[in-house]
Amino acid sequence: MTVSRDPGAGALSGLRVVDASTLFAGPMAAMHLGDMGADVVKVEHPEKPDPSRTHGAAKDGVNLWWKTLGRNKRTITANLGSDGGREVFLALAERSDVVIENFRPGTLERWGLGYDELSARNPRLVLARVSGFGQVGPYRTRPGFGTLAEAMSGFAAMTGEPDGAPTLPPFGLADGVASLATAFAVMVALSTREATGKGQVVDTAIVEPILAMLGPQITRWDQLGTVQPRTGNRSANNAPRNTYRTSDGQWVAVSTSAQSIAERVMRLVGRPELIDEPWFARGVDRAQHADELDEAVGGWIARRTRDEVVAAFEEAQAAVAPIYDAHDIVDDPQFRALGTIHEIDDPELGPLLMQGPLFRLSGNDGVIRHTGRAHGADTDAVLGELGFSPERVAALRAEGAV
């Protein structure tokens, strides 16, 4: 595993990002930018912190999800609906490059903090607006969560067993995909700013990025009038492709997207004659014979341990992967070689493990400088940087603005 230390400037050092978003796409986009060195300032309501601070598992009353989602962020409080909070936010936006928010469309405008007001103070500002359904259209003011995006994008309809119900993921898939799209869009807007000198508004609808990841379902409907059926762990495009149980009660996944891999698998499991069948030459045709192929592959795997299966597939240059849980991931030598898992010292929990930045750069690797900080931990320091005197900060705190 990698022990994260602050080695100095990251690739985005010098970039200031204001994270005024909650649950989960916006905060995760800000986390990605922070991992690359941006100075991220997390703005939360003084009395209503980001709900992710109480989301999911906890240890001794300390939330674990926030330790990851809040990493590399300085935390301040401001009630944006108050005059004092508006003053703080405008001052922060004036000295920042990016603001990420996910209030319902129209909320910032109601507070006098829309892009007209923000860009008047800082024409170079990029405002990233993350919402369930975007800033326009009949659904724009609906509450928007990743679950709804997973339902309306087509993901749930194509996921699950053929005779079962549409299936939702047990984690924030749509939020995670939208966070990547938002971070990418922010960097595009910043690149454009270098040419024009002006910022702009990014409009991310959580329902759209996951839709874009689901393949040609729209084109298929347009051209063929059909929708992708639910196939469980199988694929409609190739076979064998499934999860298979080993003799020691473990599981592996097999993929044969390439024809050469499919042929190697069948030779490995002792059924080379199937390669000569007319239907074996195309993945979509093999998928029509998934029962026969799964019986051959699954039967062979069921007589061997997971380690034996993985070793045999590797020797045959066929595609297989053990199905891991978190324990397996931490112990895996490939993840260790990549430095995927980072060990961070946390002031509340001591050393803890978490997944690191998404990728490596040859010049400026991402780094986890610190875990998620306490609610409002950096309010005084950040407001001091913005020119607020200790007396003014005390007055804002007394009136409930911070």
Active-site residues, by number, are 175
Contacts of 258 (CB under 8 A, 6+ apart): 319
CA-based angle 212:182:16, to the nearest 5? 170
3-class SS letters over the chain: CEECCCCCCCCCCCCEEEEECCCCHHHHHHHHHHHCCCEEEEEECCCCCCHHHHCCCEECCEECHHHHHCCCEEEEECCCCCHHHHHHHHHHHHCCCEEEECCCCCHHHHCCCCHHHHHHHCCCCEEEEEECCCCCCCCCCCCCCHHHHHHHCCHHHHCCCCCCCCCCCCCCHHHHHHHHHHHHHHHHHHHHHHHHCCCCEEEEECHHHHHHCCCCHHHHHHHHCCCCCCCCCCCCCCCCCEEEECCCCCEEEECCCCHHHHHHHHHHCCCHHHHHCHHHHCHHHHHCCHHHHHHHHHHHHHCCCHHHHHHHHHHCCCCEEECCCHHHHHHCHHHHHHCCEEEEEECCCEEEEEECCCCCCCCCCCCCCCCCCCCCCCHHHHHHHCCCCHHHHHHHHHCCCC
Kindly report each contact of residues 214-220 with a partner whose C-beta sits within 8 Å and lies 24 or more positions away, as own/partner.
214/153, 214/154, 214/155, 214/158, 217/154, 217/158
Both structure tokens of 292: 């026969």
How would you classify the pairing of strands 126-131 and 98-101? parallel
- C-alpha distances (whole Å) from 386 to each of 80, 92, 285 are 16, 7, 64
